[in-house]
Structure 1
């Protein structure tokens, strides 16, 4: 049985993978799929792909495109979640900051440079007409636990992370959400190391077929809202709202989307150049 290592964030978006593993569907295809949780998000997964710790990743679109251009020898093989990610913009509950404009020129907590929380801080700044040189400052906090410590102790002033993942921290009075910032494109894609893809294309295709069968019917799974609420410690009404807003994909990323992401990242000086679609994406 072939072992294949895959990484992703330990969040509700990825429950479809857990269900496939739990039901033994990958083993039926003679694949020993090993899931690794990446609490540090996209930046940590990019490192995992580069180092060969994982063969595949369920990863933020903008983050992997940036990292491939920066030398990560991986390719996008499919969009996983077709809808935008809703990034909540959070401050410490007792913070004096009340709205987005109060945060202009303050310090953003980011998991690491090149991460989603880092890139989306630029998108948010652009959306609000801030000076990208003067109005953005960063404090690296590694993960959600680091953000709690960083904001509570005043090392950073605000933190951007997926709205529903952080909702329990808003509910318990750790954070206060001052606004939302949706990503301007489909949020999660599946990326694979090029070396691995060359010799294991059929296995990657088999893995995608299994997870796609689950995501096609995900919302129809009996009591799926309760399962998510229990597993990820969320309120049932928040899960139901999230399900109503989220659509999965079984298709590869479009040329139009790749162009949009690159245009945005290039305009923000996050990438030094734009690449051809074929250098970023592989069709199976």
Structure 2
């Protein structure tokens, strides 16, 4: 899709209800010669006062992006909009504004879908003028008919404006194990808003930009418990509370944007009372029509809130969109209203959370573990198979992979630089790195508890045929402090060599192979199975091996990583490891390694026979393993002995259990 100069507006849930009304109203304003929604009362013409948005849209053209779950319904809505607005205006008026209607899939109840939507927008477009967060839903389960009767008889106007008889179920969760209403009405939008900030800023160089949050007349705290039930899984009035929290986030985000001198505004709007299909399944045709009649009666009795039509209810949204340069800074919401004859106007109302300014910071802190995907450093080798399978299922929703082909030395450098958050790396090198002063990471788990089989490799035509011949020679290593260096020292200790090896840094596995073949190094050490194909091809040869005297692979996290986020990742990885282990019996594990890395199946079988993933939960670190590894590294002259090892200092006990 070409990146053009069109003004882009995103409307979530645009295929029906208020979202469709917003789409209709935007098109009517841009395509018509008279823009009725510009001005203080929503009925001003554009002849003497045109908004920055209309100016840009009419000059550059408009792309209206309908972000919806259902492609079929979205395409149906696009056909109606095309027929009723674009084609009709093309026949009757001389407007030359170029308008494009575009569908984009977005399921707000999925973190993965919300992030994928944002990524597509960032890939396909260079700027966004407005993100209209309209889509939402509730877990409505029926009507309390006794309560409805009582409220209708005692307070009839309130009964059709602020009904207390709608029943809602609780306990519904999303695929991310968050409250479904919370994720649909708040969190999905919050992810997208965060991800698209840069595109909003890009458009703000030419006009004010906006994030518009759809609230409700019914927005209410309803005993919302931020600490005990922040995602509203157990809340009896989750819909009303979600709109309350929407207002809190909108206000807090606006304050944050203003503090950073951004030209993007975060504004609350609501449509008043609109006749929609949200309760149709609980009412049926007759009662649904009676509800509409009750709405009209309320309007005729003087209620300003009963817009009834989604097109009229959308006025507050288009009014703010077209008048952003006149929106005040005070915490407020813009409401659609109309008189008894159906003439619409906009009023400013105080937000229901105007007195709770710290709520945004508190919720932002709680949402932090889900807002940013973890960066997982990994070595692209066979032992990472469970991680790779998990990444395929996750689809980037909670983490992204960062290749570290040079191994543990590269991983520690990236952890120190803050370029990755969590990684699987060699136990000995991690502990040596920490003792030497790299305390930017901590152990949070054990990945593989069996030893690693380090092969000692030389050139295929080298004169070396035994390990003893390599005493005092130059070993190639990937990086200083890497496993290839540490294990060469451990091997020299166990073989009781009188002459210790020298080292030459080569970087990559490919460079290490090249160094033994050009004679700049005598040998290097690398994992046996990874090297086997190059031995079979005749490029290099084995002259021996060395097993680690400790569990080979540990899991570490940067000290900056939120422990709840790290815990959630390790729990998911633990499940992936168990699933991979089950695949040993049916051959799927062998097949996966073969398909992914191209290894011979017989060799994969042999590797699997010798490897044991952690039999405890991954979030367990053995105190004796850490202590024994440190002592061995001292004996191998890799690190210096401390008076007493503080084992707990190397482990993040908020994530891992130290046994």
For the superposition of Structure 1 and Structure 2, which TM-score range results when normalised by the shorter chain? over 0.9
After TM superposition, give the deviation of residue 24 of structure 1 in Å: 2.0
Q: For structure 1, list consecutive stretches of 5 or more residues without a partner in the other structure.
A: none
Q: Whole-Å Cα distance in 2 between the matches of residues 195 and 22 of structure 1?
A: 26
Within a 5 Å distance, the mapping from 1:81-230 to structure 2 comes to 81-131=448-498, 134-196=499-561, 200-221=562-583, 222=586, 223-230=588-595
2:444 is aligned with 1:77 = yes
2:425 is aligned with 1:63 = no
Q: Whole-Å Cα distance in 1 between the matches of residues 621 and 447 of structure 2?
A: 9
2:401 is aligned with 1:35 = yes
Q: What residue in structure 2 maps to residue 14 of structure 1?
A: 384
Partner SS state of residue 23, structure 1: helix
Q: Whole-Å Cα distance in 1 between the matches of residues 435 and 568 of structure 2?
A: 27
Work out whether residues 25 and 210 of structure 1, in 8 Å CA contact, stay in contact via their aligned partners in 2.
Answer: no
Q: For structure 2, list consecutive stretches of 5 or more residues without a partner in the other structure.
A: 1-370
Work out whether residues 228 and 234 of structure 1, in 8 Å CA contact, stay in contact via their aligned partners in 2.
Answer: yes
After TM superposition, give the deviation of residue 26 of structure 1 in Å: 6.8
Partner SS state of residue 637, structure 2: coil
Q: Whole-Å Cα distance in 2 between the matches of residues 230 and 21 of structure 1?
A: 16
Given the two structures, how large is their TM-score scaled by the length of structure 2? Answer: 0.41
After TM superposition, give the deviation of residue 75 of structure 1 in Å: 0.8
Work out whether residues 74 and 191 of structure 1, in 8 Å CA contact, stay in contact via their aligned partners in 2.
Answer: yes
2:623 is aligned with 1:261 = no
Alignment root-mean-square deviation, CA: 1.4
Going from structure 1 to structure 2, the CA distance change for 1:26 and 1:34 (only over 3 Å counts) comes to closer
Q: Whole-Å Cα distance in 1 between the matches of residues 539 and 494 of structure 2?
A: 26
Structure 1 counterpart of 2:393, from 13, 17, 23:
23
After TM superposition, give the deviation of residue 80 of structure 1 in Å: 0.5
After TM superposition, give the deviation of residue 25 of structure 1 in Å: 7.1
After TM superposition, give the deviation of residue 42 of structure 1 in Å: 0.7
Work out whether residues 452 and 527 of structure 2, in 8 Å CA contact, stay in contact via their aligned partners in 1.
Answer: yes
Q: What residue in structure 2 maps to residue 238 of structure 1?
A: 603
Q: What residue in structure 1 maps to residue 172 of structure 2?
A: none
Work out whether residues 20 and 26 of structure 1, in 8 Å CA contact, stay in contact via their aligned partners in 2.
Answer: no
